[in-house]
Structure 1
Amino acid sequence: MTKQKLGLASIVLLGFNSIIGSGIFLLPSSLYQLAGDWSVALILITAVIVATIAFCFAEASGYFSQNGAAYVYTKEAFGPFAGFEVGFLKWMMQCIAWGVMAVALTNILANTFGFEENQMLRNGIIISIVGSLTILNLAGVGAAKLVNNISTLAKMVPLVLLIVGGVWFINPEFIMPTISSAPAETAEHSLSFETLGSALILCFYAFTGFETFGTAAEDMDNPKRNLPLAIIIVILAVTVFYAAVMAVSVGILGPDIANSSVPLADAAKVAFGDAGFYMITIGSIISIAGINVAASFHIPRALLPLADDKMIPAVFGRKNDKGIPTVAIIASGLVTIPIALSGSFTTLAMLSVVTRFAQYIPTCIAVLKFRQRFKDDESTKKNFRVPFGPIVPVAGVCICLWLLADQSMTKILVGLGAMVLISPLYFIARKRAAEQHVEPATTKA
């Protein structure tokens, strides 16, 4: 049976779903508090910063067609142990993140329909969200692709309508950057050296998600061509989209946006009345539902390369006759449900800091190594290359170190501690593989 795969358009939509989530509905208010009328300009500045890392992922994805993204790039550049640390911790963190998103969707539904105090119903909805998406993925790539495409388009429609309709209500003075002569401590909602770092980091995290694109490379049509192209298209399109949303919301509400708990809905109410308010509210529900769909597709496939390389039991890489990784899908769902029901995410969420940069930094460095390794490989001559030689990858590493330095030592220690704790799993798996005389799978270049 021919296996259905994601074409370029579906990969791009999956990328939108991976990046654009519920955060966009709150970003305008939070960013304005830090940057004031520099908010729109800061989106564009941050996009350049993000591109230094995202484009390294785009180049790296052109060398390999195997599932795994940063796991594959790290393993190939720095060896199997480094790859295992990145790959397994990444899968763990993605399960935690999916649990958080399932709870977030449940909270929105509970607030909308008034069952905040009914914990049994909330738990039932959490289980239903994760369980139904697990079943959806067991049905195959075609079913997951259809739901992903629909959810992406459905959440984009109200935001596009807000941009198109709201542009006529913009006050240009609200979005034109100005240099304030007032001291930073007395200037309200004004960009300063004290707030610049926090504002850039807030914007940066709004763009994250591009690192997950290549996790399911084997389910994509011609990934060595389409995946780099999709990453570039999505980053550029998300930049324009974020800037437009920010311009409309800030341009309509002005300084009042800093005090709004639902800035896009309030801006839509000005432009379209109550209908606009409810349009954006429904859009926020669809948006976070879409993030859950994208997560449910990416997460199981993060286990496949680990299983193929005998770093975890081979059963997790088992696929049915349609090429669906049934065991990995079920395992990911079973791990996510208790995490979501526990409600204790604070410490677990700290893992995300080290996990994220454990993917970014090795990938940026790996690009330089791959250029040397594949310089005589004719099949890679037409691949996407990040311009300006080593400048962009080196800049990406420096940016990661700067962002990591901004984090609390507690978060860093929790993440590093988790990496130490999972280390024995690698040596146990390698010992078993050696005892069985099983050679590790080679990466598909």
Structure 2
Amino acid sequence: MTKSPGHYRRDMGTLGVLFLVVNGLIGAGIFGLPEILHVAVGAFAPWLLLLGGMLVMTIVLCFAQLTRLTDRSGGPQRFVTDAYGRFAGFQIGWLFFSARLISQGANVLVLAAYAAALWPVLGEGVARTALIVAVLGGLTLVNIFGIRRVVTILGAMTFLKLLPLILLILFGLAAASTPGPVALPQFSAVEGIALAALYAFVGFENATIPAGETRDPRRAMPRALLLGLALVTMIYFGLQWVYSHSPIAGSGPDAPLTTLAGLLGGDAGAWLIAATIVLSVLANLTAGHTSASRMPPALADDGLLPAWFGQVSRWGTPANSIAFFGAGAILFALNSSFLALAIISTLARLIAYIASILSLPRLRKAAGLPMFDALTLLAAPIALALSIWATFQTNAGQWQALAAFVAIGTFLYFIARRTPRS
């Protein structure tokens, strides 16, 4: 290890950031969502997803502007630190990292469950433990050896997971019944299910964290954020449309897209989509590992965590932080009692969205730009209102868990501030 934190190799370009965006968004959620949305709002379901993507685009537009104002790693933590100071930035970074660490453990359990559906021996005992350790351990090693290798792997997984979904959309369009008129549902029905639709679009912000390992991040990240969300929104719309216009819509299948694929392509189609789900979750884990493991080095570079987290390996990566993240995720995954806390990741992200959006005027002013331009005045109020509304859809227990993480982070912050740095 070298002793100079923060000097990372910039091995990732626009395409690599795009892979992080797409795989941060498309995890396991969309595979269970079509039936839930169809039951709630009928044939309006695909349009609800399209509307959700358009609303989230206002948040992404704010993040795209924020990424033009810094080339350093950290994402939301960096934005809030530069706008409101070290303590506020640390809390956002710490909450985001802790939430992603927990959700990483939860997501690998989802992968294990789907893998067991293909190969039952992986569902319990030593085989299940070995799968969890192998997946998270493998991701840790690949990230330590360089982000360029991660980008290559993510590119292959992105192609392999999107191709079956696009084929399912095309076959579904060919087989779908003639669509009738779309009836607008009652507002109460839309409001009751809108948060579930919104959750499908959470995760794009992960791609903003490794800016310090990205070539020309002020150009690459805005482009990738906007293109990635647009691409994923259209895929979501297509999947929901073919499902809502299929004979099985409303019949209550536990795995709606797998059931639809079985209807269109028999056992081979069902197996292909089941394998796609496993690959999709694996790609989501890869993107999450790559982005979240870069948060502690960003905090260490600002003197908010011990310098150990920011030390650079001979491969030009923050290897200590990557290994710490991998080990923590394995420990959480092997103790499933923590799963009730997984929802904290969404709440923490929403708070990161709010704090980041509020940082935008200050950062624009610091960069010598007007505090508000036409785009900011249009997008920021909608993005802020959407994020605040979503936080009020949670419960007291989730806020209490969030408060516990804040308390732990505050303690670590003051420990780090009192520790002399070389």
Common fold: TM-score over 0.5? yes
CA distance in 2, matches of 1:116, 1:139: 28
Within the candidate set 353, 356, 365, 1:360 is matched to 353
CA distance in 1, matches of 2:187, 2:259: 30
Q: What does 1:290-309 align with in structure 2 at a 5 Å threshold?
A: 290-309=283-302
Tell me by how many angstroms 1:172 deviates: 3.3
1:28 is aligned to 2:34: yes
Q: Which residue of 2 aligns with 1:404?
A: 391
Deviations 1:170-190 (A, max 9, x none): 12336x4214xxxxxxxxxxx
Q: What does 1:309-328 align with in structure 2 at a 5 Å threshold?
A: 309-328=302-321
Within the candidate set 131, 134, 138, 1:132 is matched to 138
Q: Which residue of 1 aligns with 2:226?
A: 232
Tell me by how many angstroms 1:221 deviates: 1.3
Q: Which residue of 1 aligns with 2:4?
A: none
CA distance in 2, matches of 1:161, 1:406: 35
Tell me by how many angstroms 1:356 deviates: 1.2
1:41 is aligned to 2:47: yes
State TM-score, norm by structure 1.
0.89
Tell me by how many angstroms 1:91 deviates: 1.0
1:9 is aligned to 2:15: yes
State TM-score, norm by structure 2.
0.93
Cα gap change, 1:405 to 1:149, in 2 (>3 Å): same
Q: How many residues align?
A: 416
Within the candidate set 25, 45, 60, 1:19 is matched to 25
Deviations 1:232-290 (A, max 9, x none): 0011111111111111122223543x511121122223322332222211111111111
CA distance in 2, matches of 1:101, 1:415: 19
Residue type matched to 1:431 in 2? Answer: R
CA distance in 2, matches of 1:354, 1:273: 40
Secondary structure of the corresponding residue to residue 173 of structure 1: coil
Deviates more, 1:145-154 or 1:344-353: 344-353
Q: Are the counterparts in 1 of residues 341 and 398 from structure 2 also a CA contact under 8 Å? A: no
Q: Which residue of 2 aligns with 1:178?
A: 183
1:157 is aligned to 2:163: yes
Q: Are the counterparts in 2 of residues 19 and 210 from structure 1 also a CA contact under 8 Å? A: yes
1:284 is aligned to 2:277: yes
Deviations 1:338-363 (A, max 9, x none): 10000112442242243112211011
Which residues of structure 2 form unaligned runs of 5+?
1-6
Which residues of structure 1 form unaligned runs of 5+?
180-190, 439-445
Identity %: 25
Q: Which residue of 1 aligns with 2:362?
A: 369
1:50 is aligned to 2:56: yes
CA distance in 2, matches of 1:315, 1:239: 40
Residue type matched to 1:297 in 2? Answer: T
Tell me by how many angstroms 1:322 deviates: 2.6
Q: Which residue of 1 aligns with 2:334?
A: 341
Q: What does 1:46-445 align with in structure 2 at a 5 Å threshold?
A: 46-115=52-121, 118-173=124-179, 176-179=181-184, 191-253=185-247, 255-256=249-250, 258-376=251-369, 387-433=374-420, 436=421
CA distance in 1, matches of 2:117, 2:369: 58
CA distance in 2, matches of 1:339, 1:59: 35
Residue type matched to 1:164 in 2? Answer: L
Deviations 1:379-405 (A, max 9, x none): x9xxxx974442321222211111111
Tell me by how many angstroms 1:214 deviates: 0.9
CA distance in 2, matches of 1:237, 1:227: 15
Residue type matched to 1:178 in 2? Answer: A
Secondary structure of the corresponding residue to residue 368 of structure 2: coil
Tell me by how many angstroms 1:84 deviates: 0.5
Q: Are the counterparts in 2 of residues 102 and 126 from structure 1 also a CA contact under 8 Å? A: yes
Residue type matched to 2:326 in 1? Answer: G
Q: Are the counterparts in 2 of residues 14 and 149 from structure 1 also a CA contact under 8 Å? A: no
Residue type matched to 2:284 in 1? Answer: I
Deviations 1:71-101 (A, max 9, x none): 0011111111010001112111111111111
Residue type matched to 1:203 in 2? Answer: A
Deviations 1:202-227 (A, max 9, x none): 11110111111111111211101110
Q: Are the counterparts in 1 of residues 294 and 321 from structure 2 also a CA contact under 8 Å? A: yes
Residue type matched to 2:236 in 1? Answer: Y
Q: Are the counterparts in 1 of residues 66 and 79 from structure 2 also a CA contact under 8 Å? A: yes
CA distance in 2, matches of 1:321, 1:144: 17
Cα gap change, 1:352 to 1:123, in 2 (>3 Å): same
CA distance in 1, matches of 2:133, 2:122: 16
Cα gap change, 1:418 to 1:4, in 2 (>3 Å): closer
Residue type matched to 1:217 in 2? Answer: A
Residue type matched to 2:177 in 1? Answer: N
Deviations 1:278-311 (A, max 9, x none): 2211111111111111122112111111010111
